Amino acid sequence: MQPQETKYPQRTLKVLIVDDEVAYVDVLRRRMQKRNVIVETANSGSEAIRKLRESSFDIAIIDLKMEDMSGIEVLKIFKKMDPDMPVIMITGHGSEEAAQNGITCGAYDYLMKPCDFETLMEKINKAVLNKRG
Amino acid sequence: MHEPRYYTQLRNRIFLIIVSTSLIPVIFIAMVTGYMFHTSYKAKIVGYLSELIQKHAQSIDSFLANSVSTVTMITLSNDAKKLQDPDHLSNIISVLQTSHGGVFVDIGFIREDGIQVAYAGPFKLGMAFYGNSEWFREAIKNPYSISDVFLGLRGLPHFVIAVRLEDEDRIWVLRSTIDFAYFTKIVENIKIGETGEAFILSKDGNLQTSLNSPYSKDLLKSIATVVFSDSLGREREGYPIGDIYHTNPKHSYDKPVTLETRKTTYVFKKEDASGRSIIYVAVPLRMNNWALVYRQWDSEVFMDIYKARSIVFSVIVISIFLLTGLGWRLSNRVVERIKQVDREKDAMNDQIIEAGKLAALGELAAGIAHEINNPVAIMVEEAGWIEDCLRDLPDKEMEIYKEIAKSAKQIKTQGARCREITHKLLTFARRSDTLERRVFLNTLLNEIAILCEQRARYAKVKIEKKFDEEIPAVAISPTEMQQVILNLINNAIDAMETQCGGVLTLSTKFINDWVVLEVSDTGPGIPKSILPRIFDPFFTTKPVGKGTGLGLSICYGIIKKAGGNIEVESEVGKGTTFRIWLPPVQPPNSLIVGASPEDLSSIKMRN
């Protein structure tokens, strides 16, 4: 039995989640995999860059605040490596300014932690559909 | 605020600077002009006196010259034989006395051995012997001579005019006595003021006329020394008056005043026995080794100068008093002002420290919120995962399934609540956020009202909201606007707390293209007298230490910066209303563009 709350794109999605909060990345991975999404995770900026170099993704979700580099830096590098890939920023800082800063740097959207999982999935789908459409 | 000693020192310094900068020029000018006036006036008076005495000396000279020529005339018009006849002499003296008044007292004809062979006059001096008299020795040597005053055989002070005559192979001397009283009168005929007096001194310092003022032999001798010692550098007693001679080289002591008669005038000052300064003006007489001396009290001669000096002095004293008083008042006021500024600065510092504390607190809160957000996010997602997993279970009717689903939902709900709290905390912590944004006042007011509810409850204040749901957004920093509203609400609650509660009304309206926000209370109101000052910085009615007096002035600044206005209405006993006017984000005209018919109708209704 599959959750039917959202409509998914025809092809299987491939998502890269970047956050140094291991438990959070893990639970997101589990929930997405349950919805037939292929999930790659990275717990640091450098790991994320390596993963993107190795393969391509439909979308990336990046935390704003990480230990080795900031989400904005990762976003900028991602935009250089794959300008077409949409990126959604998530932040626990509650500062909308920083998140909005992400949008000016090319992010598709942002979400404040803790966010509703369904909202996140909606934004992912919208972003991917936009890109394809 | 500094210590009181600091302000005392500051005031003293300012006082000294004021007094010295204002007094020094006054004293300097007074001294310079006083000195210049003093010297020039003194020179003038001395010049005037010198001239006067010169003239007087001339008239005395001419009197003596006349007397000499009269006697000479007699010797020329009579031979020795005639003059040996006492009767003839009697005739001559009576003629002289009628023609010259009482100037000539008597007349005598003396042989070269000093025997007076003939005499006519009031005394019995016939055949008197003058061979040993000094005047006779002089008379024999010179064609004519004038003797010093002496007592002579008659025992009365007098002087004689003697003319030498050569006849019958012998030398004769015709002499006539000058009336001493008459001569003294001529000399004294120059009385000026109360203390001016003239007299004649001989070369060796003997008085030739009478002198009413007290004097000593030494004094007269010293005057004579001044006049008769050689002017070529021999040291003289006495000294010139003041420095007047130095200002005018013509009048220097070494080159004394000379008038058209080419006579030297000596002007000098000496102190008498009682210590009084007396001005002496001395002129040598031409006909004899005599000097005409004029004396007058220094204080009388220079009376005008001394008067002027005392006037200047009193003016200076008065100005010293005035300027000192003025300086004292001014420095006190300046220091009072500095004190006030320091007090205000201290209050400002307190405010800054307070703001810094709040900022630190905000940062801390932000940090905590961030730290909490991550675990809460994980918890919420895990609950979601539980729900995901539950959906895979075949039997959904099991009691345990329902319980787990309920629990997971509860976790998600509580997670959302945590999220609310942390987000609110973060929003309120961002005090430095002054960026203008579109702000919907109703939403903001609702948020703040929730924050204040607790306090209002304690103060027995009921919060009422009257919102116009269709007001447009305004452009202002949300944080600052929040600060303004919080401040007004807190003030209102403070006011109503004192009278055990009331109603706080928050309302929004749209009037004449302005968004209007009102915060009204039913508190005690603000008295009319202080109403105009409530937006002034540092104005507070709260007790010391309770209020900084900055709250309302900060509100005023924020609203003004946003292009709005804040006003207050208050009635004592009824309450106070603060009204804020803010411009909407877009002008109403542009709202119509692309607006739905509903929107249009609502705008029409408003207008």
Token couple for B113: 């051995």
- Residue A18 pLDDT: 94
- Whether the upstream peptide bond of residue A114 has omega within 30° of 0, thus cis, is yes
- Residue B379 pLDDT: 93
pLDDT at B598 over 50: no
CA distances from B110 to A4, A59, B78, B130, B573 (A): 177, 163, 14, 8, 132
For chain B, say whether A34 makes contact (Cβ under 8 Å). Answer: yes
Percentage of chain B lying above the pLDDT 90 cut: 14
pLDDT at B586 over 80: no
Token couple for B15: 């006082």
Task: Identify all chain B residues contacting A65, using CB atoms and an 8 Å cutoff.
Answer: 370
Overall domain count for chain A: 1
- What single letter denotes the amino acid at residue A93? H
Beta carbons of B89 and B107 less than 8 angstroms apart: yes
Of the candidates B605, B574, B444, the one whose C-alpha atom is nearest the C-alpha of residue B517 is B444
Beta carbons of B163 and B71 less than 8 angstroms apart: yes
The whole-number average pLDDT for the span B278-304 is 82
Q: Burial, B492: exposed, middle or buried (Cβ in 10 Å; 0-12, 13-18, 19+)? A: buried
Partners of residue B521 on adjacent β-strands: B504, B576
CA separation for the pair B570, B525 (Å, rounded): 5
Strand bridging mode B437-439 / B474-476: antiparallel
pLDDT at B537 over 90: no
CA separation for the pair B137, A93 (Å, rounded): 139
Running DSSP on this structure, what letter comes out for residue B251? G
Taking CA atoms, what residue in A is nearest to B376?
A114
Q: CA geometry: angle at B354 spanning B350 and B356, to 5°?
A: 115
Rounded to the nearest angstrom, the minimum Cα separation between B400 and chain A is 19
Interface A–B counts its CB contacts (< 8 A) at 70
C-alpha B156, offset from chain centre: 69
CA terminus-to-terminus distance, chain B: 55
Beta carbons of B440 and B447 less than 8 angstroms apart: no
- Residue B556 pLDDT: 84
Q: What is the DSSP string of A61-125?
A: EEES--SSS-HHHHHHHHHHH-TTS-EEEEESS--HHHHHHHHHTT-SEEEESS--HHHHHHHHH
User: Residues 400..459 of B with a Cβ closer than 8 Å to A: which?
Assistant: 415-416, 418-419, 422-423, 425-427, 430, 433, 435
Rounded to the nearest angstrom, the minimum Cα separation between A79 and chain B is 26
pLDDT at B396 over 70: yes
Whole-angstrom Cα Rg for chain B: 59
Q: In a 3-state reduction of DSSP, which class is residue B301?
A: helix
Phi, then psi, of A95 in degrees rounded to 5: -95, 110
Partners of residue B266 on adjacent β-strands: B282
CA distances from B109 to B71, B87, B117 (A): 11, 12, 6
Count of alpha carbons within 13 angstroms of residue B212, beta-carbon side: 13
- What single letter denotes the amino acid at residue B151? L
Partners of residue B514 on adjacent β-strands: B511
CA distances from B363 to A130, B188, B220, B541 (A): 38, 110, 105, 32
- Please list the ranges in chain A whose pLDDT falls under 50: 1-5
Of the candidates B131, B75, B144, B103, the one whose C-alpha atom is nearest the C-alpha of residue B288 is B144
Of the candidates B435, B390, B387, the one whose C-alpha atom is nearest the C-alpha of residue B412 is B387
Taking CA atoms, what residue in B is nearest to A95?
B426
CA separation for the pair A44, A22 (Å, rounded): 10
| Whether A1 and B373 lie within 8 Å, measured CB to CB | no
Beta carbons of B224 and B205 less than 8 angstroms apart: yes
Question: Which of A5, A28, A117, A120 is the best residue to mutate to test the B interface, defined by the most B CB atoms within 10 Å of its own CB?
Answer: A117
Q: In a 3-state reduction of DSSP, which class is residue B453?
A: helix
Helices (H), B393-507: 399-429, 441-458, 478-497
Beta carbons of B448 and B482 less than 8 angstroms apart: yes
pLDDT digits (tens, 9 = 90+) for B41-57: 888 888 888 888 888 88
Residue A111's CATH number = 3.40.50.2300
pLDDT at B543 over 70: no
Task: Identify all chain A residues contacting B376, using CB atoms and an 8 Å cutoff.
Answer: 113-114
Q: How many CB atoms lie within 10 A of CB B288?
A: 20
B272 or B229, greater pLDDT: B272
| Whether B433 and A117 lie within 8 Å, measured CB to CB | no
pLDDT at B541 over 80: no
Token couple for B592: 């119509």
Percentage of chain B lying above the pLDDT 70 cut: 86
Q: Burial, B581: exposed, middle or buried (Cβ in 10 Å; 0-12, 13-18, 19+)? A: middle
User: Residues 77..106 of A with a Cβ closer than 8 Å to B: which?
Assistant: 92-95, 97
Running DSSP on this structure, what letter comes out for residue B188? T
Q: Is residue A7 in some structural domain?
A: no
| Whether B426 and A93 lie within 8 Å, measured CB to CB | yes
Q: How confident is the model at residue B548 (pLDDT cuts 50, 70, 90)?
A: low
Q: Is residue A9 in some structural domain?
A: no
CA distances from A7 to A16, B423, B511 (A): 20, 30, 47
Whole-angstrom Cα Rg for chain A: 14
Q: Is residue A59 in some structural domain?
A: yes
CA separation for the pair A125, B163 (Å, rounded): 159
Of the candidates B598, B596, B607, B558, the one whose C-alpha atom is nearest the C-alpha of residue B578 is B558
CA separation for the pair B596, A64 (Å, rounded): 39
- Residue B203 pLDDT: 80
Q: Is residue A65 in some structural domain?
A: yes
Least confident of B1-10, B175-184, B192-201, B356-365: B356-365
Beta carbons of B205 and B289 less than 8 angstroms apart: no
Q: In a 3-state reduction of DSSP, which class is residue B504?
A: strand
Query: Domain span at residue A94?
Result: 14-132
Beta carbons of A94 and A67 less than 8 angstroms apart: no
Q: How many CB atoms lie within 10 A of CB B329?
A: 12
Q: Is residue A34 in some structural domain?
A: yes
Of the candidates B496, B502, B517, B495, the one whose C-alpha atom is nearest the C-alpha of residue B446 is B517
Taking CA atoms, what residue in A is nearest to B371?
A92
Beta carbons of B496 and B456 less than 8 angstroms apart: no
- Residue B538 pLDDT: 67
Token couple for B226: 């001044």
Least confident of B6-15, B194-203, B213-222, B484-493: B213-222
Token couple for B534: 């409530």
pLDDT digits (tens, 9 = 90+) for B72-85: 888 888 888 888 88
pLDDT digits (tens, 9 = 90+) for B304-351: 888 888 988 898 899 899 989 999 999 999 999 999 999 888 888 877
Token couple for B199: 């007299």
Average pLDDT score over chain B:
80
- Residue B231 pLDDT: 47
Q: Is residue A2 in some structural domain?
A: no
Strands laid side by side in the B144-146 sheet: B116-120, B104-111, B170-178, B159-167, B144-146
CA separation for the pair B49, B594 (Å, rounded): 112
E strand intervals along B168-196: 170-178
Task: Identify all chain A residues contacting B415, using CB atoms and an 8 Å cutoff.
Answer: 114
Task: Identify all chain B residues contacting A31, using CB atoms and an 8 Å cutoff.
Answer: 381, 384-385, 388
For chain B, say whether A133 makes contact (Cβ under 8 Å). Answer: no
Q: Is residue A32 in some structural domain?
A: yes
pLDDT at B248 over 60: no
Q: Burial, B359: exposed, middle or buried (Cβ in 10 Å; 0-12, 13-18, 19+)? A: middle
pTM of the model: 0.47
Q: Is residue A3 in some structural domain?
A: no
Contacts for B44 with CB less than 8 Å, ≥ 6 apart: none
